[in-house]
Amino acid sequence: MYAGIAGGLLVFTGFWHTTEWMMDGRRRDTWALVPFGLIYLTLGYLLVTVTGGEIVEIVALAAVALGGGIAILRRHQFEIRNWVTWAFILVDAIIVLALSMVLLS
């Protein structure tokens, strides 16, 4: 159940990351979100389709923790709308929590 939640949120936030440049303007920081979005989309797809097993869950946990950590550390340096940065951080925290529950059970 938690893997499905994490996968769905990864697909959602991955799509949001890849399209943020269209919503907030074409700037270096919004374009920098695209690779993270593609990684999140791929990992979310693999989690939702139950492909790859525990390795995908561990890689997804590491990728989301890294992305969320970067967002927290550099949140005042980005040229991204402030509420979007905080929304990404919140969704990343929920994904990390869900994946932790999966891996600990």
Per-residue pLDDT of the chain (105 residues; tens, 9 = 90+): 899 999 999 999 999 989 988 887 777 778 888 999 999 999 999 999 998 889 999 999 999 999 999 889 988 887 788 898 899 999 999 999 999 999 998
Torsion sign, CA atoms 26, 9, 82, 33: negative
pTM of the entire structure? 0.89
Rounded Cα distance, 45 and 71, in Å: 23
Rounded Cα distance, 54 and 103, in Å: 8
User: In the prediction, which pLDDT does 39 show?
Assistant: 95
User: In the prediction, which pLDDT does 105 show?
Assistant: 86
Rounded Cα distance, 27 and 63, in Å: 23
Q: Determine how many CB atoms are found less than 10 A away from the CB of residue 64.
A: 27
